[in-house]
Structure formats: structure tokens, C-alpha cells
Amino acid sequence: MAIEQTLVLIKPDGVQRSLVGEIISRFETAGLKIVGMKSVWADEEFAKQHYTEDIAERRGEQVRRWLLDYIKEGPVVAMVLEGANAVENVRRIVGGTEPKSAPAGTIRGDFSHISFAHADEQEKPVRNLIHASGNAKEAEQEVALWFSEEELHSYKTVHDVHVL
């Protein structure tokens, strides 16, 4: 069992829709520990560090531009969550990238419904409320980008008794 850290961003639409508390509650209820959290309003340079050019290679430059504009349109709540297999468990709680396809019971499945096709037709990003690191390597890079070591705090919770 790997105790991991992973990055979660509640994107501007999640903040603007007042879903921050509900989203955090889902992670805490599952036994994940918040070891860092802050509100950030990303500027262009910081957004480009998060959505690097490799996204343009995978998804196209227009999609990257939409993602850059999206993450800059309002504050995000950035969190580092820690727990057993945190990357995989957070991704399961969040649901698939396309809200229309995300299962009920997941954050995206319960609070959003937009499809890739609709977003493309409207020429805008898929407003899917939340970002979660895709794998352990990405989590390590993203945590280091969004948080300094001084902003991360270790402590015990009741869940640690059941996990460790």
C-alpha cells in the first residue's frame, strides 16, 4: 500500500458555483488527508507551467488555449491530498474528464453534464469543475509546482489508524 500525495484543483466554475465545501467533504469522507490548501488566481505564466506544451501535442493548441483561459478566469482552490493510493482514489472520486460520461456518484457525474462535443461546438473548454493528477509522476510535478515544502503539513488523523 503506497501512501501518496496528489494535487487537486477546484477550478473556477467549482469555486463560482460554491461547491468547494461539498467537494472537500467527499475527499475527507473517503479518508484522504488535506496536507496543503490555498486559493490561487493563476496568471498566464503560471497557467502555462501547469498546462504545458505537451498538452498541445496530445490535444491540440486550441484545447490548450481554452484550458489556459479557463484556469485563469477566476480563483481556484488548490489542495494536496494524502492517503493510500491517493492518485488512483482521487481519480475514482472525481470521475472521468468528460462530465457527460462520468458515473453518478462521482464529483463530475453529480455536478456537471457537459460533453466534449458540446464544448467543441461552443468553442470553449469542458467545464468539469476539478483537476486531479493523472498518475504518480504527474502528481509529484504538480504538487511541486503549486506548493512549496513549507506549505505542506504532516499530521495524524483518525483515518491514519485504519490505513497504516
**pLDDT beyond 70 at 163:** no
Average pLDDT, whole number, for the chain? 93
**Three-class SS of residue 136?**
helix
| Average pLDDT value for residue range 139-150 | 98
> Between these two residues, 60 and 87, which has the higher pLDDT value?
87
How sure is the predictor about 21, in pLDDT bands with cuts at 50, 70 and 90?
A: very high
Q: Name residue 33's beta-bridge partners.
A: 82
98-121 per-position pLDDT tens digit: 999 999 999 999 999 988 888 889
State the cell numbers at 103: 458515473
Grid cell 509529484 in the structure block, residue: 140
Locate 110 and state its grid cell.
453529480
162 catalytic per annotation: no
**pTM (2 d.p.):** 0.93
Widest CA span of the chain, in angstroms?
Answer: 49
Given a cut of 60, whether residue 151 has pLDDT beyond it is yes
**Residue among 50, 113, 118, 131 flagged as catalytic:** 131
More confident residue, 68 or 124: 68
* Domains of the chain, each with CATH number or no CATH: 3-154 (3.30.70.141)
How is residue 100 annotated by DSSP?
Answer: G
